[in-house]
Amino acid sequence: MHPTVQNLSKSQVVDTARAYAFAGRNYERGDLRKKDMRGVNFTCSNMRSADLSGSDLRGAILVNADLSLAVLKNCDLRGAILSGADLTNSYCRAADFSGAVMWHTVLKGAICKNAKFFDTDLTGADICRAEMLGARFDGAIVTGLRNVDRAIFRWFIPPTGGRPCYDPFPGAIVLTESVTGSNSYQENSGLGQTGREYE
């Protein structure tokens, strides 16, 4: 006998909804801050420009999801599946991608300062122009990681003061970590490669 909704317990209904009801949906520019979305299936969903700041996305399935221009600041994405997802120009400051599967994920121009990629599978991911200042990759699988030479892992500050730049020059002070930690301020965003400003 096939179970009907009336025969399912509340937890079974919630589990079924998490597995199927959110896939392929449009959340463009949605306010999804500080939501509990653990294990939710967002496969092929449009989350372009959505604000997911501080959300719990542990174990979420974001296969082929469009997260371009999304704000993922302080998101917990441990164990999430982001294979084929597009995070172009997204803001992932202090996001935790530990243990995530990110096969062929596009991180072009993403700001990932102080993000954690511990034990993350980044096979074939593209990090062209991504700002990775202070990002950690302990135990990460980086086989076939693309455009590493075009990602930003250091800033250079003139010894006389002034705005940081991405190109080395004689006498420059080298920064390999963000001095503001997981906080984000106008001075620290530097407008980067994307030309966007953040709070």
Partners of 71 in the beta sheet? 51, 91
Give the H or E element holding residue 22. Answer: none
Identify the pLDDT of residue 193: 40
Of residues 16 and 72, more confidence is placed in 72
Residue 99 in this model has a pLDDT that exceeds 60: yes
- Domain regions of the chain by residue span: 11-152
List the helix and strand counts (H, then E) for the chain. Answer: 2, 2
pLDDT value at 154 more than 90: no
Q: What is the DSSP letter of 107?
A: -
Architecture of domain 11-152: 3 Solenoid (2.160)
Name the helix (H) or strand (E) containing 189. Answer: helix 186-189
Residue 185 has pLDDT above 60, yes or no: no
Mean per-residue pLDDT for 123-147?
95
pTM of the model as a whole:
0.80
- DSSP letter for 166, please: S
